[in-house]
Structure 1
């Protein structure tokens, strides 16, 4: 067969290391999907809606990062068609950008003659499709000839895999994808991201500050997790005798039950004060944004050292010794003299966690705490978990023990609908996956039950049905005493799942642990529906009183 531009795309992706592509066909992308059909060493996973396709690619990349944080950066290709198909991925790519997930978005385009407002009247035509993506992704690349394809994809792959990781966007016109390819078959295309090394003088200053600190504390963020600092971080914490608090995005980089682990209760005032009281706070891979700073209530009283791969986040919220670097490379360069273990740090951690426990005990939250415990107990080791923006997820941000069951949430951008498609992407890696959604978020991804069934993906979906947008109901009622537009009509989720050929069960708060355990251990997709109205713990301003 005559090789075409689409074949060059697929050959380049395979040479760069892709073995799985998430794709949804469209008229302008026919050349790409014909090339994927011809390829016998690239798997194609579809979805029903483009935003869910992009969420699934994000979930695939996160699951591979969690499984092998020191391995090759798992840049994950996602292919869609022009115009409406491309634009539907924007909210999902915003999440990938906020959470530093390496997704390579590839879109077809109208023919070259129409680019930049040349000829008009093409189906799906936009005046400037690139403009929609420039402020969402790390970089945008446009191809106009077949010979440009390998370099454009290599450049995009390199940007996606360079710390901080993130999504990139490549556009290839329809006629380029269908054009005969005169290039020889491609097998040796490589991308080599430049390591983001710290400046030696800044490392030396950080070493001096930490060595002199009497009460050092470490805040480990998503950048520490993405960089694969799982071994270097405990070594530093033990040398410094420094407690470690993990941000919601950094959960899993430091062992949950480690004697120096102060865990992740970032919306708890005791934890906020614990961080603020450090004479030197070492922030690894966090921008100290809204969630990590307890909604801007955090006010450090000591020195802050901030190590961050995203240059724009350095000192964007708090003054600090800002060090632009990959966290793992910074930790490799850092030298601090080890301290004797006198038990003081461990005692402060134990005291903090006891105060958090006492605060929770003082509120009527037994049902919520039991639910998190029941879900965790039902999940076997090695299961990837994906949580939508729902009250159960807000609890999991703080309370979920991630060791052996990594947690992935949409708290980077905060959009609804992430849970199920993210879990489908993770299941495509061969790992069992759990998705947790509220009934509101579940409605965004119901069509993907067909995807789960078609591909036989091992995903268990827990839908917590409280009759509406539960967290927004709490916010509105708390602020104004009443709620508006949060109460939802919804389907019979059990019957609907069964109509897709997916086994489902309606559970209760008493039986949900057993129902989930059975579903998770049954191969293939399954759904557990739990009618329940959950509450959040008391907000920050009440905690301070």
Structure 2
């Protein structure tokens, strides 16, 4: 009897001839780029460095497109966004020590948001591995240890023949649910070593699936079918699993209202009769979810933001579908289903019983009216008008990337993403400087659509160097910078907590003049002209900067009502 796993694909005569006669002048770096290409990669991000030159030299002999940024952390953010937009593992090529470590904050964001980033770093020569201090430039006692608490998996290569298998294993790890960043490191001498290993032409690029346990989905389906007031929280796992259509079908079958977390923006249609939108930080929404007798949580760990800063106290039964085992029941007891959101939702669709509930849309309308009334009472017309202007200016199918700034905090709750995988922010790890370099990565992934980046003036200074990258590659990114003279959200936090703020005020450049010095068009706008100016720049090819001097305020902390 022959088993499928016993079958071996035999090389063709042409493949055999090519394998026996590899082209001259190849080294370990060529094995890196050949393996990436064989796995399906077309684009790599990164920065060169002394130990990594073997990889970057090999790029000359490959068909891979190289996009070089100016700071390793920004290269990581660009790869993160490329992975989110394409669903592919985004290669990130880095050098040893300082170059590698500078990417850590970006990899933390990728891990928190389940973005598939394949980071490949050089290392000191193999004689320097395993501890000790050999005096190599960039040397760390244990470079991999710096990444183990951040990435999904770490792979250290010690010989050229290990390179294809290590990269293939990392690739599959990055794309297996939950998606996430992975780390491969290759010593300098291995990258430079001449090799007669045949050109890498194939690899198993298919990640492992994570199906739900059938006995658990049977119980979940029974609970949901019999529920009197079911509700659904949809998180970023729905987006990463490309499961938005299945989520909608299940919500309609159950007549269950749906709220999306900041990471799940766009997972459910904003104007759907069952849509609670994204007001997950509103006390009225929290009350509504607490009142559900069965609450289905899909692709969310019910962390700080999605639990309204841990004030959420559910009274009903929770069913949690989560691909990240560490997040399963980490904040609330639940019927925990460790699974990819797409596969679990499909299993539920096949087993639930259709519910009739004509009151569900009515309850949704009442809840949204309460939210609107509450926000209207806070006299925040400027903030709502600015956000509405951004929404009208941005084409419906264009992605947007938001830094940790007051307008982004508004957008988490009040912005209609117009579709899944359209709105992205740094709310996973919460670091500054995400928006602009991430938007550049998205523009590389899909040059047919303009991309919007939104930053405050504080966050903008983290990534201002990437204006050179935007100009060099002619990327279609419009960068909206809201200039309030400092770290606006921290100013508010400190004033509320201590009566006054310190260390929040910033001297900043003339952003319009600075953009123009990079050859990037810049325009200074006002809240009244924002929609027109932003739309004009988004419609123009290439990068641009729109500066909005404005002091915006947050809506009141809803959990303190």
Could you tell me the TM-score, scaled by structure 1's length?
Answer: 0.97
Counterpart Cα distance in 1 of 2:558 and 2:46? 43
1:242-286 Cα shifts (integer Å, max 9, x gaps) = 000101101111111111111100110001111111000000010
User: What is the aligned partner in structure 2 of residue 217 from structure 1?
Assistant: 231
Counterpart Cα distance in 2 of 1:538 and 1:508? 24
- The one of 43, 64, 83 aligned to 2:65: 43
Counterpart Cα distance in 1 of 2:438 and 2:326? 27
Residue correspondences, number: 533
User: What is the aligned partner in structure 1 of residue 13 from structure 2?
Assistant: none
1:50-95 Cα shifts (integer Å, max 9, x gaps) = 0000001011111224xxxxxxxx1000001000000000001000
User: What is the aligned partner in structure 1 of residue 416 from structure 2?
Assistant: 401
SS at match of 1:231: helix
Is 1:369 matched with 2:391? no
Is this contact kept in 2: 1:382–1:432, CA < 8 A? Answer: no
Counterpart Cα distance in 2 of 1:280 and 1:210? 6
Report deviation, 1:192: 2.4
User: What is the aligned partner in structure 1 of residue 153 from structure 2?
Assistant: 139
Structure 1 unmatched ranges of 5 or more: 66-73
- The one of 532, 535, 545 aligned to 1:517: 535
Structure 2 unmatched ranges of 5 or more: 1-23
Alignment of 1:313-332 (within 5 A): 313-332=327-346
Alignment of 1:190-269 (within 5 A): 190-269=204-283
User: What is the aligned partner in structure 2 of residue 22 from structure 1?
Assistant: 45
SS at match of 1:527: strand
Could you tell me the TM-score, scaled by structure 2's length?
Answer: 0.94
Is 1:425 matched with 2:441? yes
Counterpart Cα distance in 2 of 1:309 and 1:147? 33
User: What is the aligned partner in structure 2 of residue 482 from structure 1?
Assistant: 500
Report deviation, 1:541: 4.0
User: What is the aligned partner in structure 2 of residue 33 from structure 1?
Assistant: 56
- The one of 404, 408, 413 aligned to 2:429: 413
Report deviation, 1:37: 1.2
Report deviation, 1:382: 2.2
Alignment of 1:6-155 (within 5 A): 6-39=29-62, 41-65=63-87, 74-117=88-131, 120-155=134-169
Counterpart Cα distance in 1 of 2:310 and 2:524? 40
Is 1:296 matched with 2:319? no
Counterpart Cα distance in 2 of 1:541 and 1:395? 15
Report deviation, 1:189: 1.1
SS at match of 1:329: helix
Is this contact kept in 1: 2:311–2:559, CA < 8 A? Answer: no
Tell me which stretches of 4 or more aligned residues in structure 1 moved more than 3 Å.
none
User: What is the aligned partner in structure 1 of residue 470 from structure 2?
Assistant: 452
Counterpart Cα distance in 2 of 1:266 and 1:380? 25
Counterpart Cα distance in 2 of 1:518 and 1:238? 39
Calculate the aligned-residue CA RMSD, in Å. Answer: 1.0
Alignment of 1:159-178 (within 5 A): 159-178=173-192
User: What is the aligned partner in structure 1 of residue 398 from structure 2?
Assistant: 383
Is this contact kept in 2: 1:459–1:524, CA < 8 A? Answer: yes
Is this contact kept in 1: 2:281–2:559, CA < 8 A? Answer: no
User: What is the aligned partner in structure 1 of residue 17 from structure 2?
Assistant: none
User: What is the aligned partner in structure 2 of residue 308 from structure 1?
Assistant: 322
Counterpart Cα distance in 1 of 2:397 and 2:223? 38
Counterpart Cα distance in 2 of 1:80 and 1:109? 10
Counterpart Cα distance in 1 of 2:399 and 2:458? 22
Counterpart Cα distance in 2 of 1:381 and 1:411? 22
- The one of 323, 331, 344 aligned to 2:359: 344
- The one of 487, 494, 516 aligned to 1:469: 487
Report deviation, 1:97: 0.3
Counterpart Cα distance in 1 of 2:33 and 2:40? 11
Is 1:530 matched with 2:548? yes
Is this contact kept in 1: 2:280–2:308, CA < 8 A? Answer: yes
1:434-488 Cα shifts (integer Å, max 9, x gaps) = 0000000000000000000000000000000000000000000001110000000
